[in-house]
Amino acid sequence: MFIDYTKVELYAGKGGAGCVSFHREKFVPKGGPDGGNGGNGGNIRAITNPNLHTLQDIRYSRIYRAKNGTAGSSSLKTGKNGKDIRIEVPIGTIIRNINTSEIVADLVESDQEFIICKGGIGGKGNVNFKSSTHQTPRYAQPGVSGESGHFEFELKILADVGLVGFPNAGKSTLLSVVSKAKPKIANYPFTTLEPHLGIVKSGEYKSFLMADIPGLIEGASKGKGLGHQFLRHVERNRLLLFLIDGTEQNPLTAFESLKKELKSYNVSLLMKPLVLVRTKGDIVIDIDHEKWENIPEYLMEISAVSGDGIQKLIQEISNKLEET
């Protein structure tokens, strides 16, 4: 199951208390203070795992509590630190504090690590408060509470190229042809209900990552048809490849409608390089080519079924990625 959003409660460990103790042994009836410090509480860390592609495991473990540090003891013994909790997440995960809406971490590199909630510091034992004027301190510090909070984990797919279009525009078919990805394909709308990734080889030692984003509908930017869940994955893409059904009689209207949804969701999306491609070129129909060629972003016609234009499209995408 593809899970790209979840909420969790995180509680770092509390620091252990410092110890009040005095050195005692035979023939030393009035030894000085020897109370040790408490151990630090455990941290809660997030670390990216390149082998993960979903937040599924986190969704079913909503509460994380790190271990507390143990108290100090006599003979200057420091308490044991609490064990850290490491939460493994996919690359591209954003962690946001729900109460403040602040993004606390944006993890976009492999094996990147971040402390979300820091464990409390252990309290100091009474040996730390000894002075020339106060040689028998009878107090120690309690441990400090660890950080805690409610957080959102949101996954935004990292891909070079994002396929954008209305349902049944041919996005999944194209991805299956140019890569080894196997998204579900059928001749009805909303076949794709979750993003799919595929590696596209563009040369002997060159490749790029392509993402099949589920089809958008009018009102997607307002959440209609799970629009928000789909559109968040477009934000990471370097280039947006718009696919419009070759049988569309008003391609400019369809193209503007797609751009409108992107703009309503996040205006910065339109600052990315946009390329328009006409799909289903194998269908023999009377096409007004002038309507398509009058769109500045229009690149070419392809047919994922017959393979016409596919290699040329891959090369064009590779060139544009190098330019960006």
Are 130 and 182 found together in one domain? Answer: no
Tens of pLDDT, residues 205-214: 888 988 888 7
73 and 179 inside one domain: no
Burial of residue 111 (CB within 10 Å: 0-12, 13-18, 19+) is: exposed
Verify that 166 and 228 share a domain, yes or no: yes
Domain ranges, residue 22: 1-155
Average pLDDT, the chain: 86
Query: Which residue's structure tokens are 């490749």?
Result: 207
- Determine the Cα–Cα distance for residues 123 and 67; give it in Å rounded to an integer: 16
Residue with tokens 């979300």: 116
CATH assignment of the domain containing 284 = 3.40.50.300
Q: Which residue has the higher pLDDT, 287 or 52?
A: 52
Per residue in 93-136, pLDDT (tens digit) is: 999 999 999 999 999 999 999 999 999 999 999 999 998 888 88
**Tens digits of per-residue pLDDT, 141-186?**
999 999 999 999 998 888 899 888 888 788 888 988 888 766 544 4
Task: Name the domain boundary from 155, 174, 200.
Answer: 155
Indicate whether 270 and 295 sit together in one domain: yes
148: CATH = 2.70.210.12
If one counts the domains in the chain, the total is 2
pLDDT of 1 higher than 70: no
Q: What is the pLDDT of residues 226-282, one digit of tens each?
A: 444 667 778 888 999 999 988 888 999 999 998 888 888 888 888 999 999 999 888
Instruction: Indicate whether 27 and 60 sit together in one domain.
Output: yes
Check residue 128 and give its pLDDT.
93
**Domain check: are 190 and 265 in the same one?**
yes
174 plus 150 within the same structural domain:
no
Judgement on whether residues 13 and 137 belong to the same structural domain of the protein: yes
pLDDT at 191 over 70: no
What is the torsion angle, in degrees rounded to the nearest 10, for the CA atoms of residue 99, residue 105, residue 321 and residue 202?
Answer: -120
CA distance 107 to 114: 8
Of 103, 124, 155, the last residue of a domain is 155
The fraction of the chain above a pLDDT of 90, given in percent, is: 48
